[in-house]
């Protein structure tokens, strides 16, 4: 059926859908490539380019030495329905001139809200509590939980939790695959097979722990949280529309 609810693919373009950005703006900042896709009406990039670069600068160099790109992308309606996420790690992506491991943060609705069923697994219950801690308003209703988000709460989730969480995924891969394999291509392929067949719970636990320990350490050093970094003239100078970041 032509209108079936699936994320479309193209036989002529082997890239994954999250690599296909519409009219992106590329910003080079402090050794990182930040690729920004324009937001659709009603959506916003909660973390600014300066926000992202500030947090990346706090992460140990060895952990991000191979992660040189971050994409701020706008998901389509179907993608939000079928694969709604705060962010993801692409172990390899092609985004214009940027190639390699890439962290992707997705634009979110301005003052958005979602509902989750009352019945949930322990993992989902833990995530609900994390969202509450991030500042999202969580309200129990008769048949579901309602989660109301603001620009500030989405920024907290994506900048201080999702971004280091995705770094954590790459750190685990790097330690267990690339570093162990060295220059041996056969060993690399074998270790990659082992890594990508690990239970998702094991990989998520590692990434959650990495993000939590990073954030707690930065809080102790009083380096996070920090106020939103919005510099409108600099945004305009590099071709970014401040409205994508809900900045006036």
User: Mean pLDDT over residues 121-146, rounded?
Assistant: 93
Phi, psi of 24 (to 5 degrees): -70, 155
Are 55 and 164 within 8 A, CB to CB?
yes
User: Residue 18 — very low, low, confident or very high, per pLDDT cuts 50/70/90?
Assistant: confident
DSSP designation for 18 = G
DSSP designation for 205 = H
- Point out the least confidently predicted range of 81-85, 115-119, 121-125, 126-130: 81-85
Burial of 139 (0-12, 13-18, 19+ CB in 10 A): exposed
Cα gap 159→97, rounded to integer Å = 24
Q: What percent of the chain has pLDDT over 70?
A: 93
Q: What is the pLDDT of residues 37-48, one digit of tens each?
A: 999 999 999 999
Residue 19 CB contacts under 8 Å (≥ 6 apart), including other chains: 90, 93, 94, 95
Tell how strand 32-36 and strand 69-73 pair up.
parallel
Q: What is the pLDDT of residues 75-86, one digit of tens each?
A: 988 877 776 899
Whether 10 has a pLDDT exceeding 60, the answer reads no
Q: What percent of the chain has pLDDT over 90?
A: 78
pLDDT at 12: 59
Six-digit token pair at 72? 């701020």
Q: Which residues pair with 73 in a beta bridge?
A: 106
Q: What is the pLDDT of residues 177-209, one digit of tens each?
A: 999 999 999 999 999 999 999 999 999 999 999
pLDDT at 1: 44
Are 48 and 115 within 8 A, CB to CB?
no
Q: Domain locations in the chain?
A: 17-112+149-245
pLDDT at 79: 79
Please indicate whether residue 175 or residue 7 has the higher confidence score (pLDDT). 175
Q: What is the pLDDT of residues 205-237, one digit of tens each?
A: 999 999 999 999 999 999 999 999 999 999 999
Alpha helix stretches (DSSP H) within 72-199: 77-82, 122-134, 151-157, 163-173, 179-181, 185-196
Are 58 and 51 within 8 A, CB to CB?
no
How high does pLDDT run on average in the chain? Answer: 92
Q: CA gyration radius for the chain?
A: 18
Kindly provide the residue ranges of all beta strands, DSSP E only, lying in the chain, ordered along the sequence. 25-29, 32-36, 43-44, 69-73, 87-95, 98-106, 108-109, 113-117, 137-140, 144-148
pTM exceeds 0.75 for this model? yes
């Amino acid at each position: 059926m032509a209108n079936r609810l699936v994320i479309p693919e193209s036989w002529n373009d082997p890239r994954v859908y999250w690599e296909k950005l519409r009219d992106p703006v590329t910003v080079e900042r402090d050794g990182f490539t930040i690729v920004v896709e324009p937001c659709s009406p009603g959506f916003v990039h909660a973390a600014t380019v300066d926000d992202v670069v500030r947090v990346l600068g706090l992460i140990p160099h060895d952990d991000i030495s191979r992660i040189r790109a971050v994409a701020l992308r706008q998901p389509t309606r179907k993608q939000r329905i079928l694969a709604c996420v705060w962010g993801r790690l692409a172990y390899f992506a092609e985004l214009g001139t940027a190639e390699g491991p890439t962290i992707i943060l997705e634009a979110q609705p301005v003052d958005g809200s979602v509902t989750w069923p009352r019945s949930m697994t322990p993992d989902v219950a833990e995530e609900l509590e994390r969202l509450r801690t991030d500042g999202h308003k969580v309200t129990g209703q008769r048949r579901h939980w309602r989660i109301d988000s603001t620009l500030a709460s989405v920024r907290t989730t994506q900048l201080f939790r999702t971004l280091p969480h995705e770094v954590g995924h790459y750190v685990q891969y790097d330690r267990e695959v690339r570093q162990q394999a060295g220059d041996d291509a056969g060993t690399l392929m074998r270790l990659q097979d082992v890594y990508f067949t690990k239970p998702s719970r094991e990989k998520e636990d590692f990434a959650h722990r990495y993000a939590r320990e990073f954030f707690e350490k930065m809080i102790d050093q009083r380096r996070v949280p920090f106020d939103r970094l919005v510099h409108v003239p600099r945004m305009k100078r590099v071709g970014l529309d401040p409205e994508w970041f809900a900045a006036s």
